[in-house]
Chain A
Amino acid sequence: MGYPCQVFHASELPDRVQADLKGHKRKLDGGQRNVDLNSCELLEMLQYKCEIKEPVKWDSAVQCYAVDRLFRKCKDRKGTFMVETTAWEGKDCSGAAQQGGGSKTTSGSTEQKPPQHYHWSSSWSSPDTAR
């Protein structure tokens, strides 16, 4: 059930955004070689976590807490694409870079690690078993 997708950690985003859907390296305007997430336009979307105070009453009060989702709108020669950076934004980028560098030096171990795929649930009643 559902389309199988390869999952990756948000810290890999700066590397992952360099390739398009077909796995080809993105081509950029203005002589740039790589997509720089930090220089892409930052956008946000508010979603919520709501509580219905008294679910038995039809006119019960509802209290909502805002959840901020962050996105970066990046450009390549073919157009724009969006990257959700909620989990990446504000993290220590140099640390992520070091982590990336570290994985390069131990590239043997990362290459051996098989790509992980996400399995979606086919059950509507037990969404918590999606993983």
Chain B
Amino acid sequence: MPFSHFARHPVRTSISFLKATCLVHLGLSHGYNISPAQGPSMLPTFTVDGDWILCDYTRRCGRGVGIGDLVVYRIPVFSNQWGVKRIIGMPGDYVSVGTPGDPGEELMIQIPQGHCWVSGDNLPASRDSRHFGPLPLALISGTTIAKVLPWNERKWMKNGLEKVDQEL
């Protein structure tokens, strides 16, 4: 009987259980994790509420991320809250500090070392680098690789950056 086997070895069972718990915790915090996302800032990529996203936490601290990727980051003004935004620029790149199409879009900066520029897909409803400035790469905890729920809307996230065939 398996249960009696565990009951006969309480210490060994407890250690094994502890090891398994640590392993699962490590996998969820440093590997892959599914979590709910809400808010209007990433419309139409994510809906306002009810979406669950698959995140890759091996990309923490901005490791291997590039322009167009969706990142999960710790919001600089709220250390215990996380946001999901799209990367617009990496260290050394040049970005507009304004909103495309609105007054102020012609103001540019060069992103400092160790920082990136993030912006929500739904520009009017997003609080992002346009408000808190360049985001330290160290605040990035991972990337969003897929939308999992609702199941009939499941899809892999694609990088938002595309080549333009025809010159303007």
Contacts and interface: CB of A to CB of B under 8 A. Distances in A.
Contacts of B68: 45
A52 B108 contact: no
Interface string B104-128: 1111111111010001111111010
Contact of A16 (B90, B94, B122, B123): B94
B34 to A, nearest CB: 22
Interface range on chain A: under 10, 10 to 19, 20 to 34, or 35 or more? 35 or more
A82 B168 CA distance: 18
B22 interface: no
Contacts of B168: 42, 70, 89-90
Contact of A86 (B96, B110, B134, B164): B96
B33 to A, nearest CB: 25
Q: How many residues of B sit at the interface, in one of the four size bands?
A: 35 or more
A6 B118 CA distance: 18
Nearest to A44: B164
B90 A82 contact: yes
Contacts of A36: none
Interface string B140-164: 0000000000000000000011111
Interface of A: 1-3, 5-13, 16-17, 20-21, 41-50, 52, 58, 62, 64, 67-71, 81-84, 86-90, 118, 120-122, 124, 127, 130-131
**What 10 pairs across the A-B complex have the smallest Cβ distances?**
A2-B133, A120-B133, A5-B109, A10-B106, A127-B131, A87-B106, A50-B43, A82-B93, A83-B94, A42-B164
Given A48-B123, A82-B94, 12 more contacts: A3-B136, A7-B107, A10-B96, A21-B112, A47-B86, A47-B100, A58-B49, A67-B100, A86-B100, A87-B106, A121-B132, A127-B130
18 contacts: A5-B97, A5-B109, A5-B133, A8-B107, A8-B108, A9-B108, A10-B96, A45-B67, A47-B120, A49-B101, A62-B43, A62-B47, A70-B164, A81-B93, A81-B94, A86-B100, A120-B132, A124-B127
